Amino acid sequence: MLNQIKTAVLLAGLTGILLIIGFFFGGELGLIIAFAIAMLLNFVSYWYSDKIVLRIYRAKELPESKYPKIHKYIKEVSKNMKIPKPRVYLIPTDNPNAFATGRNPKHSAIALTDGIMHLLTEKELKGVIAHELAHIKNRDTLISTVVATIAGAISFIAIMARFAAIFGGGRDRGRGLELIIIGLLAPFIALIIRLAISRSREYLADETGAKLSKNPEGLASALKKISEASKRHPLRFGSQGTSHLFIVNPFSKSALVNLFSTHPSTQKRVEKLRSLEV
């Protein structure tokens, strides 16, 4: 419940930043334009985000005839969580990873990489599947889309503010300086809020998946393996902007990226999982 409240508060904060920027940049008209941009992006992402992200990662539908065990695991966990069985996809990469997408449980999909199916044991793979289906059950796939959309709109408007300040001439230097400051600070604040939401949803999915599958140790062990293997085999295609979708960040990471990671540290996640009573 605490994670749910935290997410709602942070989402409200993100929306507030968007509207404030719009109002400051163009008064009532700017507010309307900012709102319109957000609604348009939300509409597109709500209806097509799953198709877009699956295409980005070259995912192909996983036939049940060739992978009966995977479909069996997903069917069992879906039934236990009381949600419809999602569509199942395969991503062609050695990076061991997985993500869930879709606007609601009835229109959802889970994608697994080649690497994860070769790396994990049956118990560990079931733990990962439970985590991803927990994202679907908790409607995190929709939340992550909304967050990404609003944050994207903030960045877009902030860029407009910086250009207006730089190329708007010298008629009002004080106003230009204010626009530059807002243009620089707003995307950074939006990033911090996005990271906070993403991390809280990861903890919640860990807990929900572990409790409903009664398999916290399977997920804990899988997270450690995936984290280590991802360092050796980082994902070579895709977008850093979608890293929050995966169970572990699949891209190569610098110290700065670690500081602003969309995921909590693997060590903390494992500790929390092993402290659960199921």
With a CB cutoff of 8 Å and minimum separation 6, the contacts of 62 are 70, 71, 88, 89, 90, 112
For residues 193 and 201, what is the distance between their CA atoms, to the nearest angstrom?
12
Give CA separation, 221 vs 74, 114, 144, in Å. Answer: 19, 18, 25
Strand partners, 199: none
Euclidean distance between CA atoms 237 and 233, whole angstroms: 12
C-beta of residue 81 within 8 angstroms of C-beta of residue 104: no
115-145 in b/e form (b: 16+ CB < 10 A) is: bbbebbeeebbbbbbbbbbbbbbbebbbbbb
Query: How far is CA 66 from its chain centroid?
Result: 29
Helices (H), 57-172: 68-81, 114-119, 122-137, 140-167
Name beta bridge partners: 87. Answer: 109
Residues that are catalytic: 132
